[in-house]
């Protein structure tokens, strides 16, 4: 949490947002654990408000190989994108873990696209639905889409940002150590949504702490 | 009898939420807060609380490591690990340490059940 534009949100708002993401991703990890039958380890989530360029750099610093992402757009009071991102070589391992591991390689490759979309759908929905419920809002989620490329591809998807070039970049690392699988969940929101988000966070904080919204 | 509850969570909001639930259930109890495992262990050396609520996913040592360390200090203190991450391994480790597992977001109802058990245990230990 060391990026400059973070002053758009108060310390308590950032705290509340991080906690929402933590709860959302923790539930998603429990779903993934059921799918792969192995423990899933999570990092402490990080929330940053950064420029699009910086978000690309952050992801590029962590992963050099080609990436695969499952991507879903969410719309409602707040709109944005959620991405489940893996280094490309790990995505086949994930499919193998989910399908039970007895399938020959050619079948796994054939199944990869569909299995990734479905896994992404379950994880991202679990995470976003938890967050939406806690904010007392509903979010409409698009169908999952599997993308291949690098950080720049994922963060420059059409349509281009409406205003400003600041995105909220939330990321959390997850690992299935026994399977050597690891990846990230990232969420991106543009500035107009960020203003709406601050109001929702204030309401959430007021409900949680029992105090009236300012 | 009024007890003292330790709340450990790196999120200030989560600590406020737990404090709100505690206040609704036992307004006469007091609480101490810690933002990480090291702070909690420093408080434990002073023996300044009776029951502890521990967040699982924290920077540094996680809530299960902290529960194990608190267990070494005090083999009978009622402990609960609080997390939305209800994976079998995590729930099982909490159980092995002798800590309850409470789902996050923490509700008054689940805190009530845990605290009832904790009070029964503490009262029994005194007689």
Q: Kindly report the three-state secondary structure assignment for every residue of A74-102.
A: EECCCCEEEEEEEEHHHHHHHHHHHHCCC
CA distance B83 to B103: 5
Identify the three-state secondary structure at position A179.
helix
Range of the domain at A131: 4-208
Q: Would the CB atoms of B85 and A26 count as touching at under 8 Å? A: yes
Range of the domain at B49: 4-126
Residue A86: inside a domain: yes
Nearest Cα residue in chain B from A131: B105
Q: How far is B125 from chain A (nearest CA, A)?
A: 33
Closest CA to B8 of B81, B90, B78, B74: B81
CA distance B103 to B84: 5
Query: What's the CATH code of the domain at A64?
Result: 3.40.1550.10
Query: What's the CATH code of the domain at B75?
Result: 3.40.50.2300
pLDDT given for residue A186 in this prediction: 84
Nearest Cα residue in chain B from A43: B57
Give tens-digit pLDDT for B31-71.
999 999 999 999 999 888 999 999 999 999 999 999 999 99
Is this prediction's pTM over 0.90?
no
CA distance A19 to A44: 10
pLDDT given for residue A212 in this prediction: 47
B69 phi, psi to nearest 5 deg: -65, -40
Residue A213: inside a domain: no
Identify the three-state secondary structure at position A166.
strand
In A80-117, which positions are buried (b, 16+ CB within 10 angstroms) versus exposed (e)?
bbbbbbbbeebbbbbbbbbeeeeeeeeebeebbeebbb
Q: Would the CB atoms of B12 and A15 count as touching at under 8 Å? A: yes
Give tens-digit pLDDT for A4-49.
445 678 999 999 999 998 899 899 888 888 888 889 998 888 888 8
Number of domains in chain A: 1
Query: What does the block give as tokens for A37?
Result: 């039958």
Q: How far is A196 from chain B (nearest CA, A)?
A: 20
Q: Is B10 on the interface with A (CB under 8 A)?
A: yes
Nearest Cα residue in chain B from A33: B87
A chain contacts of residue B57, beta-carbon cutoff 8 Å: 22, 26, 42, 44
Residue A214: inside a domain: no
| Residues 26 through 55 of chain B touching chain A, CB cutoff 8 Å | none
Query: What does the block give as tokens for A130?
Result: 């938890």
Tell me the mean pLDDT in the region B93-117: 95
Q: Would the CB atoms of A16 and B13 count as touching at under 8 Å? A: yes
What Cα–Cα distance (Å) separates residue A42 from each residue in A30, A39, A77? 10, 10, 28
Beta carbons within 8 Å of B58's beta carbon, 6+ residues apart: A44, B8, B9, B10, B36, B37, B66
Q: How far is B86 from chain A (nearest CA, A)?
A: 6
Greater confidence (A59 vs A11) lies with A11
Please return the burial class of A20, using the count of CB atoms within 10 Å of its CB with bins 0-12, 13-18 and 19+: buried
Are A151 and A86 in contact by the 8 Å Cβ rule? The answer is no
What average pLDDT does the structure give for chain A? 82
Number of domains in chain B: 1
> Residue A189's beta-bridge partner residues?
A80, A168
CA distance B9 to B48: 17
Query: Which candidate from A11, A19, A39 shows the least CB-CB separation from B14?
Result: A19
pLDDT given for residue A94 in this prediction: 82
Tell me the mean pLDDT in the region A129-149: 90
B chain contacts of residue A16, beta-carbon cutoff 8 Å: 11, 13
Q: Would the CB atoms of A26 and B13 count as touching at under 8 Å? A: no
Are B28 and B1 in contact by the 8 Å Cβ rule? The answer is no
Residue A131: inside a domain: yes
* H helix intervals, B26-74: 37-45, 63-73
CA distance A110 to A124: 23
Q: How far is B76 from chain A (nearest CA, A)?
A: 29
Q: How far is B21 from chain A (nearest CA, A)?
A: 9
Beta carbons within 8 Å of A95's beta carbon, 6+ residues apart: A108, A111, A112, A115, A116
Greater confidence (B120 vs A86) lies with B120
CA distance B44 to B46: 5
Q: Would the CB atoms of B87 and A30 count as touching at under 8 Å? A: yes
């Amino acid at each position: 949490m060391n990026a400059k534009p973070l002053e758009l949100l108060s310390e308590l708002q950032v705290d509340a947002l991080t906690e929402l993401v933590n709860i959302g991703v923790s539930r998603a990890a429990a779903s993934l654990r059921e799918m792969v039958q192995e423990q899933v380890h999570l990092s402490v989530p990080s929330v940053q408000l950064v420029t699009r360029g910086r978000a690309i750099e952050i992801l590029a610093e962590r992963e050099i190989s080609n990436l695969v992402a499952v991507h879903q757009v969410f719309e409602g009071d707040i709109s944005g994108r959620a991405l489940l991102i893996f280094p490309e070589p790990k995505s086949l391992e994930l499919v193998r873990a989910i399908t039970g591991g007895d399938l020959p390689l050619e079948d796994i490759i054939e199944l990869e696209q569909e299995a990734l979309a479905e896994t992404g759908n379950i994880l991202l929905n679990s995470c976003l639905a938890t967050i939406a419920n806690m904010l007392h809002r509903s979010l409409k989620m698009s169908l999952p889409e599997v993308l291949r490329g690098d950080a720049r591809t994922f963060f420059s998807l059409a349509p281009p940002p409406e205003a400003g070039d600041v995105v909220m970049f939330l990321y959390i690392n997850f690992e299935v150590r026994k399977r050597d699988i690891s990846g990230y969940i990232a969420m991106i929101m543009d500035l107009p949504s960020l203003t709406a988000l601050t109001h929702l966070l204030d309401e959430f904080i007021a409900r949680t702490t029992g105090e009236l919204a300012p | 009898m009024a007890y003292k509850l330790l709340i450990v969570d790196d999120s200030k909001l989560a600590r406020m939420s737990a404090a709100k639930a505690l206040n609704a259930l036992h307004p006469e109890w007091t609480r101490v807060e810690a933002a990480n495992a090291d702070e909690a262990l420093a408080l434990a050396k002073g023996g300044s609380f009776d029951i502890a609520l521990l967040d699982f996913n924290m920077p540094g040592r996680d809530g299960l490591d902290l529960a194990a360390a608190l267990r070494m200090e005090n083999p009978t203190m009622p402990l609960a690990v609080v997390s939305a991450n209800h994976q079998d391994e995590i729930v099982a480790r909490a159980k092995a340490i002798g800590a309850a597992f409470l789902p996050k977001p923490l509700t008054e109802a689940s805190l009530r059940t845990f605290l009832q058990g904790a009070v029964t245990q503490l009262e029994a230990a005194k007689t």
